[in-house]
Amino acid sequence: RVAMGRAIARRASLVLFDEPLSNLDAALRARVRVEIRRLHEELDTTSIYVTHDQVEAMTLADVMFVLNGGKVEQWGPPLEVYAEPATTFVAGFLGSPAMNFLEGQVSATGEVRLGESATLEVDPARFRIGEGRAKVTVGVRAHDVEVAGDEASFGMVVTYTEELGGETYAYGRIDGQDFVARLDPSTRVRPGDRLPLRVDAARVHLFEVEGGRSLKC
C-alpha cells in the first residue's frame, strides 16, 4: 500500500507490480485486489502486473500474457484466453479446479472415445481432424459438465466430494482416468456412486498429444 501511495503521488506513467499480494492472507488479498483495480482505473495509467495467481490475472488484467518457461504461451483478453486456450499449459493454468485432461481418440466424424465405453461427440468442423482415428488430449472444464439421464455422454465413478455450500465438486474416475465435475449443491452423491454426466460438444477442447497445441481451427 505504501508503494501504491508513492506511485499515486508521483503520477507515474508506468507502474510495475511484482507479486504484491503473495504474502497476504486470503481475505486481505481479495480486498487489496479490488483496491488495485480501482486505483488503476482512476489513475488511467499503464500497469504491468506479475503474478502466479490465476485469479489475480483474470480479475485485474485488460490484456493477459501467460508465460511458460520464460516464453509467451498465449496473450489476449482474460476471458478470451480462458475460453480458447491455445495449449494444455494455458488451459490447465486458468480455472479452478483445473481443466480435466483425458486421453482420447477422435474420428473424422467427430466421435471421441475416452476408453472402453465413454464417448463424446464434437463438431469435426471446429477442429483440425484428419482421416481415421487420431490420439488427442481431451479437455473438459468441471463447470461445463452437468448431471444427465438418458442423454449422458459418460459415467463417472465417484471417489469423494467437496461440498462448498454454493456448489459441490465430485471427484472420480472415467474409464480409469481422473475427472472432477461441478454439481448443483442439491445433488447428493456418495463414494462409489456412478454419476451420469453430459458435456456440451461446444465446450469440449481437443489438443495435440505431442506439444499440447489446440486443434481448434
In the predicted model, what is the mean pLDDT of residues 4-17? 74
Average pLDDT value over all residues in the chain = 91
CB 8 within 8 A of CB 42: no
Cα 86 to Cα 200: distance, rounded to the nearest angstrom: 20
Q: Flag whether pLDDT at 12 surpasses 90.
A: no
Q: Which residues contact 14 (CB under 8 A, 6 or more apart)?
A: 45, 46, 47, 48
Q: Would you state the pLDDT for residue 7? A: 66
Q: What percent of the chain has pLDDT over 90?
A: 64
Report whether pLDDT(159) > 70: yes
Identify the pLDDT of residue 149: 77
* pLDDT score at 35: 86
The pTM score is 0.89
pLDDT bin (cut points 50, 70, 90) of residue 5 is low
